[in-house]
Structure 1
Amino acid sequence: MGVAPNTSEVVSSIPPIETGGNMDINELGVGSTIYYPIQVKGGLFYTGDPHFAQGDGEVALTALEASLRGTVRLTVLKKGDPSIPHRGEFTQPFAETEDYWIPIGLDPDLDEAMKESVRESIQFLSDKLDMDRSVAYAYLSAATDYEVSQVVDRTKGVHGLIRKTDFLEYVDVIMNVGGTSIKPVVHNDEFYVPIRTISELLGGTVEWDHKTRTTQIKLGTKNISAQIGSDVYSINEKLVFNSKVPKLLNGETVVPVSVINEILGAYVNWTTIDKTLTANVSLSTK
């Protein structure tokens, strides 16, 4: 997402900079949302340099470089929009995934990048979740990991990983599937959703085999089987391993939200608007 500019001054385009480029944060995979400040009017968007995998820091300059095709959704957020991570001037990029809010610090000096990431973390917790700044500072020291994003470019990067499940008493969590809202269940610090409900809302049909405790799903061109407690799913008769196993909770077969993308093939995109975490679900076009 881009946050609309307040200035038309000329800025550097050598990445990484506050408006993006080569930040190399390996948590930002499918379903991530990233917020960029827009520093010039008429700013454009470009993406490239995809990786199959990389570690924090990308210390050898390259990772597992790849030719990939991505699908992105661009939204311009005007000043004061409740989706913006904090109030006041928005000057640093910020990201979020299913698991984390990710404040980002960028600076040629790695120490300064670290300080910037911590400042952004405190600002976010204070503005978005009404947390006292001194309490936020103490929380970050006790419970948040800070990682080096990259060091191979002129500008260095550090990002924090603020766990969303630490703040469930402060926020509401919903999943939006085609305009219908459902409430995920938190289990072992993960968000779980009923696989039958999700599949039917996406236009699929579902059958339950009581004897084998298996959910049979037909969704588009896919025939999917998910068995309670099994880390092996079947997709069109091909066995697929996934460590996120289905569970039986309150009489329903539930799966972690990540399974919705990895097994059902639907996009799940997380955004935080005011104090509501929303997972928007839509079928992939691939």
Structure 2
Amino acid sequence: MADTLIKVDLNQPATSNENVHNRWHPDIPMATWVKPGDDFILETYDWTGGFIKNNDSADDVRDVDLSTVHYLSGPVGVETAEPGDLLVVDLLDVGAKDESQWGFNGFFSKNNGGGFLTDHFPDAQKSIWDFKGMFTSSRHVPGVEYAGLIHPGLIGCLPDHKLLAEWNERELGLIATEPDRVPPLANPPFAKTAHMGKMKGEARDKAAAEGARTVPPREHGGNCDIKDLSRGSRIFFPVYVKGAGLSVGDLHFSQGDGEITFCGAIEMAGWVHMRVSVIKGGMATYGIKNPIFKPSPITPNYKDYLIFEGISVDEKGKQHYLDVNVAYRQACLNAIEYLKKFGYSGSQAYSILGTAPVQGHISGVVDIPNSCATLWLPTEIFNFDINPSSAGPVVQNFKGIDMPISPDRKK
């Protein structure tokens, strides 16, 4: 049996655990060390550190302080790993903690992070999903059940000082172009809620003031939210500091491509069983500046899809030039409108697209002025027929079931 090198107690605040951090900084001490070839287990909090509760209120989603997230287990130092190497990480298994067989999906209010469709869903909402072995269903979103593809939404290695400075310079520069935007263009360093693992004293305070927030993906990996990076995957990470400094967290039971609801997968506390090795000089040898990976050989076996198209024309009819973001948004909105015809609320349909194993594809980026993006919705996850027919949609009797909503108190 592999050793559990980092443990988390879900009854204690994440900030009490010195083997956890919520910022990226090269000076964060390693929580533990391993050798190439070792396999080991890391336990993780959910990305909010337990702030979101299993109840029928969305107040916690509305009120969560997003400057505190994500809570990551690590960093794990790997002996012999040096800058310029590639750290090879095999995800041997991923699971939910025995005492926490549930997860949550949510929409943040527009004034607290928003999301991909925040203009259409500006208020905080939440759905709770129960795990039954490899399957999940929700009391807030009836009529669906699907197999999970459990994966870490966030995994990566520590940056060096040069890379950290580049991140802060370019992201602060972006914020400066529209400093009052809601939601903001990026998230700057924020020392007040930084949790820096084992760091203490003045060194901790200095690092907290410049540590990068964990919200976006970057060159080192980070919050990429790739659903196919699951058990059986092999990832090749660029190494920037001695020991690599591998950290992981933000586990998802299931997610659709794009994680479009932002709190957009089925978020959960759990554990990751992994093995590490090192390719010396691998960054230069293979010309790698961002991680690459081999996907999991295990995926939900859904074969029948309805595929929704979107093009680079937004909701107001404005033409954009080969804008894939606009095109994918339109594909998602088209799917939501379709599902509403069967009795779902818009919020329930949106939650399905964020949590179910939908596929997102960039189908065309050459035919000016419109890109074409597609969203592949598996029909087999529904317990009724959602295919079009001459008889029209059969509206389901969901007996008034919907997701809890908490309007923004700042309105």
Scaled by the length of structure 1, what TM-score is found? 0.30
Scaled by the length of structure 2, what TM-score is found? 0.22
Hey, which of these two has a bigger chunk of strand by percent? 1
Q: Who wins on radius of gyration, i.e. which is larger?
A: 2
